[in-house]
Structure 1
Amino acid sequence: MGTVYALFVGIDDYPAPQRGLRGAVNDVEAAAGLLGALGQGPFEPLFLRNGEATTDGVVAAVRDHLGAAGPGDTALFWFSGHGTDYEAVLPLHRRTEATGRYQALVCADSPREGGRPLVDKELGRLLDAVAERGAHVAAVLDCCFSGGATRTSAAAGLTARYAPPAAWWDAPCAQRGPAEGTGTPTARHVLLAAGRLDQLSYERDFAGVPHGVFTHALLEALRAAGPGATYRDVLAAAHCAVQTERADQHPVLFPPTPGGPADRPFLGGAVTRGRDPHLLRHGPHGWEVDCGRVHGLYGDDPDGTEFTLTAPAAAPRVVRVRTVHADRAEVEPVGWEPDRRRAHPVALSALALPPTRVRIETPDGSAAARGAAALLRDAIGSAGPGGGPAPLLRLTGDPASAPGHLLRVAVSSKRGAGLEAGVLRRDGSAAVPPLPLDGPEDARRVADCLCHLTRWHQLLTLDNPSSPLKDLVRVEILPWTYAGPWSSDRPSPVLPEGSGEIVCRYGHSPAGRPQEPWLSIRLHNRSATRTLWCVLLNLTDSHAAHSDLYPGHFIGPGRTGFALDDRPVAMSVPARRARPGAEARDWLKLIVAEGELNTVPFHLPPWNPDSSGDRGAHRPGADTVLRLTPPGRDDRDLAEARPRAPGEWTTRTIPLRTIIPGGN
């Protein structure tokens, strides 16, 4: 490991009338002591305390001291003191500053007549210049970046690290800010800040010694972190500690992009992995995972949703979801107690699938229809394991307000004698042909149908939109040529039409008969470093799902996997429907994961109204929890197995429509 060049700036003594601080110098001295003890290589600290920390002095120290860092070295800038903001002056800056204001560090001479603050963009340019020489650069800022704040504390014992702007502060010098017309450059350093741009940060006494709340939390997180802990890991743990102190102070990590500087080990080292799927941490409300509704986690009935620790352990360490919020999930460890001082990497290992809302309607209002509807309600109420309620279904009386998937069952008289149940989608279209509903056995069959359609819909809509694996595997669909897909005259990929679907049309054979279209389907891993496991499901309009096209294999970086082992994929309309003007729909569902998944839950037979079913059994079609874990010995459907801890996963869905031309 190279040398760590560290610049520690701590300012307690500000000139009047600015209010002074008590914990800033303590912050930088404690930080230097801890980092020096934890370091594995040479450590070169430089301190600027109080009056030494003028704006020009800080700028010079960044250029000269941190600028000595080269390839393989680390440059660290740590500032504890007052922060400020003030209105952007130049027209360009009013456009490029998201708040319309400059955010800045208040140096020792900034409040004096003629002094100036160190604006964040000027500091960013200085740090990026160091990074351009090949050094890894990090900054820790424990100060306010607040708008419209005051110097008074909102709580006893807490002091805000905020200084009001001076009347003479002007725009940053041209050579120090972003060049005109270029916008804001991309940061080449990683930043850990005490709070958001519109928030105060605070200091208080800890065991009689004043410190910044953020610095104290960050140093505690560093002490508890194991080897190789990343900036993201440490910031997540510090965030929870700060939130316990001040719910209105939210530490910030920038840039947060997975696989970037935030995922390097603290004070340097190569990115050995992308962002862990999610982080488990202890916050003011107990244990939580940084995954919520905005990330695609279902909020209704999360019972059964679990995350598993990705770090090696003798036995899986699981936390179960209790409540899902917009940005996080409150969880409960199952049979173990995590270290509260640390953030723990976890992956989603079991997902409670959302139920379908069912609306039962009797359009004709007859007594017979109402009686049959009551039979169906009873069947749904006893269609689950052990004769309990069907876990995949929820009855609703208000279809307009029902979230997610909705099925309507219209009970009415059929031609001739008896009653029938029309199973309809939200838009009123038929999901399956009408089913008889003349007694308890028919009602159970309708309930089974509703469960089957729900399970199929869950597979169709399964997604993990926040995954860093998103779009790493490209699905390419080509017309099949007998010369093979790698010939020099390989045709262009088939692209979606205006409807968003890929449309495949029958042609004609030499004998003049309709000829089904043949396709070549390939999965290309665009990652330069990751070997990814892929399975390609085919969901059909007969409400079946299977993985025959690509049953699940690992694809290396830059490599390609072919559906059906590079044989043509025939897109056909079922024989019983094959006539001019007929069509069939398929949905290709790509699932990409870091490790092998159990594919048994992804298989579903076509809906068959004549099948007897096995009500109450824990079959894949009736399970309400999708377990995203490696296959076991009894359910493995791959020749090769690579057992791994739960990892990141994502999906992509491609709709296809196959048409036989002709008809009206």
Structure 2
Amino acid sequence: MTTWAILIGINFYVQDRHLHGAVQDVRDMGAYLEANHEHVKLSILTASAPQNSNDKVPIEEPDAWPTFENIKGQLDHIEQAANEMDFLYIHFSGHGTQQPVVSREYKERGTSDVALVLFDPTTGSRYLRGVDLARLLQRLAKKGLKVTVVLDCCYSGGVTRRGKLMPLSTRGVEWDPAIAAQFPLEQVPHLFESPTVTRDATSEFKWLESARGYTIITACGPHEKTWEGDINGTKHGVMSFLLLSALSRAARSGFHSSHESVYQYLRTKCHANYSFQNPMLFGDRAVSFLGGLRFPSSSLSEIFTAEGSLHVSAGRAHGVSKGDEYEVFPFDPSMSIQNLAITTSARVMVNAVHGLTCDVDVTQASPSGDDIRTGWKARPLTHFSIQKVHVKIASGVDVGRDWSYALASSKFLQPFAEDTDSPTSLCQVILNDHVEYEVLDILGNRLMNVPAISARISGVIPLVVRILEHVARYQFIEALENGLVSSWLETAFTVDILDSQQRPLDANGVVEVREHEVINFTFRNHSHHPLYLTIYDLTPGWQIQGVFSTGAGQITGSYNQKTAQSTTQVTKAYR
């Protein structure tokens, strides 16, 4: 298999502030690829600033300029020459900008999209819009290439995290309508929508969250800036420097790194040293970086220190409760998250819980004696917030060793015998006249869409317990409530749900709809802060489906200075 790479670094901008580390980013990445990957076909497109400030073109030859035509030409060549299962790596270091979406539908939502600022010999700059890039990537992914994209540029021309920013400069510029007008966006409808899908949730970063067949790692969040500066004596982008460090360490150790493990390394290092930007990951997390291996996915939290105390980046919103325990350990990108050979792990216990973080105390020191530091990872061992659901076992069910073992290992179920006093149970398990296990509700009626299972088949007891656990998880999610009362948040938005006759919820908070009838969900952001929205559908078939999410984007408040009011809305129709 061949590894194709297109590395784009732009220091020289005719109309905007020059950068200083972008070209070095891609040169170093090119050297890494040639040293550590066989069968590499490398294309490096760069724009270095000329010594004469009056010159309008970079010092490189024209066929090595990072122009739209050169980039598209390289991608077209790869599409024709590459074979299925080849790897493609694209790295962009340069300025980014945000494109305002000007159609009426999107303008009401306060949305925008990212664009990469390329060099153009005629106009000075040209934008490669996010949706244009997505179209190019989709073509390559459909051919069977494994595509990884790294974007080391700003996603926002506005909001920057405050604080001491050290001697660094941003990689972002303001959107210029004049440049955009020179190269209008080709209108291609339904880029990500299926014509048979009625739940057509849309957000400004849909092309990112819809990444299928390719993986994108970004340097920062959708409303942050990314930075470059003098790092270890060389000009680099923060993201590119950390990425190259992660890949080099993995190469020296002889291990493969998954996208997830590389991302976790970048995220941890940024939190510890460059907290003003937060990398993001879209697409396939489990595949190895420029490799064909797949790793099981996992979720770890970060350890960080503040004012001499230890904290974990998980809180009440993540289901953390006081008394929960975590295993904590130093993290290396060459380690497989699921198969860590942890010899230096310590244990901590939660002593206070906040919205998105919690405070912890050390209960077991690391065997190596290492102090727990910012950048370590935390893996949960207990979840006291998960209240076990009571399940009644009918007298006709022989609760033998198999049942006892299966129920004892369950996080969600607390069994009770039928002839004992017990709290109100979610459901009960019986053995019917056909020698089948049935799951009934508290009134003795069979749970809808939960099948009866023959007691004679092999492995039936773990299967029944898994069904009970699924029902218990559903009930657990259904009963979740917001324990954090915020007067600001309560007034920041309103939600309206109307049926097809424009009738609202009744006094009990219910709207009745018939099969195939459409209901309209309208979310209004009255604040001038971005809000994030996700809608879940708890179906009659005991499934929980995400039907809408702003994902990496946000519903941004449109603040009116004259009226001192802000209202931005998004309306979705569901059948």
Question: If the length of structure 1 is used for normalisation, what is the TM-score?
Answer: 0.50
> Quick one: distance in 1 between partners of 2:260 and 2:374?
11
Higher deviation after alignment, 137-146 or 173-182? 173-182
Per the TM alignment, residue 58 of structure 1 is displaced from its structure 2 partner at its CA by 1.8
| 1:54-69 equivalence runs, <5 A | 54-65=67-78, 68-69=81-82
Letter in 1 for 2:42: P
State the partner residue of 1:400: none
State the partner residue of 2:29: 31
> Quick one: distance in 2 between partners of 1:99 and 1:271?
38
Contact 2:154–2:219, Cα closer than 8 Å, also in 1: yes
2:135 is equivalent to residue 125 of structure 1: yes
Pick aligned residue for 1:212 from 237, 240, 253: 237
| 1:1-80 equivalence runs, <5 A | 2-16=1-15, 18-39=16-37, 41-50=38-47, 51=58, 52-65=65-78, 68-80=81-93
> Quick one: distance in 1 between partners of 2:194 and 2:452?
45
Contact 2:246–2:262, Cα closer than 8 Å, also in 1: yes
- 3-state DSSP of counterpart to 1:199: coil
Pick aligned residue for 1:263 from 286, 303, 306: 286
- 3-state DSSP of counterpart to 2:368: coil
State the partner residue of 2:367: 335
> Quick one: distance in 2 between partners of 1:329 and 1:162?
34
Letter in 1 for 2:270: V
Per the TM alignment, residue 160 of structure 1 is displaced from its structure 2 partner at its CA by 0.6
State the partner residue of 2:443: 503
Contact 1:149–1:162, Cα closer than 8 Å, also in 2: no
Per the TM alignment, residue 339 of structure 1 is displaced from its structure 2 partner at its CA by 11
Contact 2:169–2:227, Cα closer than 8 Å, also in 1: yes
Pick aligned residue for 1:561 from 459, 465, 474: 459
Distance 1:31 1:133, change over 3 A: same
Distance 1:166 1:283, change over 3 A: farther
Contact 2:344–2:368, Cα closer than 8 Å, also in 1: no
Per the TM alignment, residue 238 of structure 1 is displaced from its structure 2 partner at its CA by 1.2
Per the TM alignment, residue 165 of structure 1 is displaced from its structure 2 partner at its CA by 1.4
Letter in 1 for 2:243: L
2:112 is equivalent to residue 101 of structure 1: yes
Contact 1:63–1:130, Cα closer than 8 Å, also in 2: no
2:191 is equivalent to residue 178 of structure 1: yes
State the partner residue of 1:243: 271
> Quick one: distance in 2 between partners of 1:219 and 1:244?
17
- 3-state DSSP of counterpart to 1:216: helix
Pick aligned residue for 1:233 from 239, 261, 282: 261
Distance 1:310 1:60, change over 3 A: closer
Letter in 1 for 2:115: A
State the partner residue of 2:281: 253
Contact 2:154–2:225, Cα closer than 8 Å, also in 1: yes
- 3-state DSSP of counterpart to 1:276: coil
> Quick one: distance in 2 between partners of 1:100 and 1:315?
47
State the partner residue of 1:158: 168
| 1:338-487 equivalence runs, <5 A | 347-351=379-383, 353=384, 481-485=432-436
2:328 is equivalent to residue 311 of structure 1: no
State the partner residue of 2:300: 278
Contact 2:268–2:375, Cα closer than 8 Å, also in 1: no
> Quick one: distance in 2 between partners of 1:220 and 1:162?
24
> Quick one: distance in 2 between partners of 1:99 and 1:34?
41
Per the TM alignment, residue 166 of structure 1 is displaced from its structure 2 partner at its CA by 1.4
Per the TM alignment, residue 161 of structure 1 is displaced from its structure 2 partner at its CA by 0.4
Letter in 2 for 1:246: Y
Letter in 2 for 1:193: T
- 3-state DSSP of counterpart to 1:25: helix
Contact 1:87–1:101, Cα closer than 8 Å, also in 2: yes
Per the TM alignment, residue 264 of structure 1 is displaced from its structure 2 partner at its CA by 0.9
Contact 2:137–2:147, Cα closer than 8 Å, also in 1: yes
| 1:187-202 equivalence runs, <5 A | 187-188=211-212, 189-202=214-227
Per the TM alignment, residue 293 of structure 1 is displaced from its structure 2 partner at its CA by 2.8
Identity in percent? 24
- 3-state DSSP of counterpart to 2:339: coil
Per the TM alignment, residue 231 of structure 1 is displaced from its structure 2 partner at its CA by 1.0
Letter in 1 for 2:70: G
- 3-state DSSP of counterpart to 2:244: helix
Per the TM alignment, residue 178 of structure 1 is displaced from its structure 2 partner at its CA by 3.0
Contact 2:343–2:367, Cα closer than 8 Å, also in 1: no
Higher RCO structure, 1 or 2 (CA under 8 Å, sep 6+): 2
Contact 1:521–1:562, Cα closer than 8 Å, also in 2: no
Distance 1:153 1:210, change over 3 A: farther
- 3-state DSSP of counterpart to 2:126: coil
> Quick one: distance in 2 between partners of 1:253 and 1:238?
10
- 3-state DSSP of counterpart to 1:65: helix
> Quick one: distance in 1 between partners of 2:187 and 2:346?
54
Per the TM alignment, residue 55 of structure 1 is displaced from its structure 2 partner at its CA by 1.9
Letter in 1 for 2:259: Y
Per the TM alignment, residue 283 of structure 1 is displaced from its structure 2 partner at its CA by 7.7
State the partner residue of 2:520: none
Distance 1:177 1:348, change over 3 A: same
Per the TM alignment, residue 314 of structure 1 is displaced from its structure 2 partner at its CA by 7.9
> Quick one: distance in 1 between partners of 2:131 and 2:227?
23
Q: CA RMSD in A?
A: 4.8
> Quick one: distance in 2 between partners of 1:520 and 1:142?
51
Contact 1:83–1:104, Cα closer than 8 Å, also in 2: yes
Per the TM alignment, residue 342 of structure 1 is displaced from its structure 2 partner at its CA by 12
State the partner residue of 2:556: none
Contact 1:234–1:343, Cα closer than 8 Å, also in 2: no
> Quick one: distance in 2 between partners of 1:94 and 1:153?
31
State the partner residue of 1:88: 101
Contact 1:243–1:283, Cα closer than 8 Å, also in 2: no
Contact 1:478–1:520, Cα closer than 8 Å, also in 2: no
State the partner residue of 1:411: none
Contact 2:303–2:378, Cα closer than 8 Å, also in 1: no
Residues 588-622 of structure 1 deviation map (CA, whole Å, 9 limit, x = unaligned): 657999xxxxxxxxxxxxxxxxxxxxxxxxxxxxx
State the partner residue of 1:637: none
> Quick one: distance in 1 between partners of 2:73 and 2:275?
37
> Quick one: distance in 2 between partners of 1:125 and 1:494?
48
Contact 2:327–2:345, Cα closer than 8 Å, also in 1: no
Contact 1:23–1:210, Cα closer than 8 Å, also in 2: yes
> Quick one: distance in 2 between partners of 1:132 and 1:43?
21
Distance 1:249 1:93, change over 3 A: same
Contact 2:413–2:472, Cα closer than 8 Å, also in 1: no
Distance 1:592 1:343, change over 3 A: farther
2:325 is equivalent to residue 297 of structure 1: no
Letter in 1 for 2:22: A
Contact 2:96–2:171, Cα closer than 8 Å, also in 1: yes
> Quick one: distance in 2 between partners of 1:175 and 1:131?
18
> Quick one: distance in 1 between partners of 2:236 and 2:174?
21
> Quick one: distance in 1 between partners of 2:11 and 2:444?
72
> Quick one: distance in 2 between partners of 1:147 and 1:177?
27
> Quick one: distance in 1 between partners of 2:143 and 2:373?
35
State the partner residue of 1:137: 147
Per the TM alignment, residue 116 of structure 1 is displaced from its structure 2 partner at its CA by 3.3
- 3-state DSSP of counterpart to 1:103: strand
> Quick one: distance in 1 between partners of 2:278 and 2:247?
18
> Quick one: distance in 1 between partners of 2:372 and 2:27?
25
